[in-house]
Amino acid sequence: MEPNNTAARPSLLSSRRPGWQRLLIWGGIAFVALNILPLVFSIAGNLFGPGSALRDWGSLLILILLPFLPLLGFLLYLPFDGINLLRTATNSATAAFTRRDDPAGDGYLYDVRPARMSWLTVLVPLPLFIVLGVLTAGIGMLFWPALVAIFVLPGARYRKPVTIAVSPRGIESGDVNLPLDRIVDLEVGNNGVKVSEEPLMPGPGGVSTSGMVGRGLGRRQAARSYTLAVRGDGQSHAAVIAGGLTYDCAVNLHSDIENALARLRAAHMRGRSSAGSV
């Protein structure tokens, strides 16, 4: 699998950065935000003249539409599992899981908390569409939710908290219910593409699947869109049992469930041997 180098390269707003660095970063973002609108209006004034009706209407409509654009985007995303983006909006930027014993099922329960979507993928295109909004009497701003959807909707279906039950009966998570003796493989993937240890592209060292997915969807968002899926005997496709994961969480969850399955299979074999010897 792709080696983990997140400790060497923390994300821009990562909690692993020193507090003074995050304060400077947020201060820079606030400074840009407070200065972008006057700059946009100034550019529009130079292009269309101080009496331009288009500029005036664009400025007015931007002030009216801006607070409602997140709501518009949410409504547009609802048919594509956008509700999960809202439910996880206050989550951490990193996914996490906890394992606890399940005496009722004689196994384990995994409570998985996905990472929220990257807010930078939402905010970075905003200045461009503010400019377009001024130049097009506010109409250009309506395309901002559509562009953002390209980045935030892939993986939204699986970006939700789940509880995975691993027991002698098999694996259960949501609609997935696979008996223990039919489980063939657990797969870490990224938006439907299985992460591979082997380089898939020619060149010095090659490029892994996760690397290609990261480039195609925007690394920041793709880094929070890993999934864990289980494939059964005789099935060509794996069924996702947890999503919206960061790489470390996905790999550690994969390893922990693999170990749990190995313990349960060993206990099952010991039970069969004991029954056969009686």
**Domain match, 203 and 249 both:** yes
Cβ neighbours, 10 Å, residue 139: 14
Q: Are 123 and 215 in the same domain? A: no
- Per-residue pLDDT at 132 exceeds 50: yes
Q: Is the same domain home to 272 and 214?
A: yes
In this prediction, residues 158-179 reach a mean pLDDT of 92
* Closest by Cα among 246, 256, 248 to 186: 256
Per-residue pLDDT, 140: 66
Lowest mean pLDDT among 188-192, 217-221, 253-257, 262-266: 217-221
Domain range for 77 is 17-81+118-158
Helix (H) or strand (E) holding 257: helix 247-277
What sections of 49-142 are H helices per DSSP? 53-65, 69-77, 83-87, 120-123, 126-135
Residue 2 inside a domain? The answer is no
Number of Cβ within a 10 Å radius of residue 157: 16
The answer to whether the beta carbons of residues 61 and 140 sit under 8 Å apart is: no
> Which residue in 157, 125, 99 sits closest to 36, CA to CA?
125
Tell me the three state secondary structure of residue 66.
Answer: helix
pLDDT tier for residue 105 given thresholds of 50, 70 and 90 = confident
Give CA separation, 180 vs 108, 111, 122, 263, in Å: 13, 20, 41, 12
Number of structural domains found in the chain: 2
Q: Is there a domain that residue 227 lies in? A: yes
Sign of CA dihedral 201, 217, 125, 6: negative
Across 51-65, 111-125, 226-240, 242-256, least confident range: 51-65
Six-digit token string for 36: 């972008």
* Per-residue pLDDT tens over the stretch 187-246: 998 865 666 554 444 444 455 544 544 443 356 677 888 999 999 888 778 899 999 999
Q: Is the dihedral of CA 232, 193, 75, 97 positive or negative?
A: positive
| Tokens at 73, concatenated | 């985007």
pLDDT score recorded for residue 96: 95
Same domain, yes or no: 252 and 180? yes
Q: How far is residue 231's CA from residue 240's CA, in Å, rounded to a whole number?
A: 9
Question: How high is the pLDDT of residue 243?
Answer: 93
Confidence (pTM): 0.67
The per-residue pLDDT for range 1-45, each reduced to its tens digit, is 343 433 344 555 556 666 656 666 666 666 565 555 555 555 555
Asked whether residue 88 is domain-assigned, the answer is no
The verdict on 65 and 196 lying in the same domain is: no
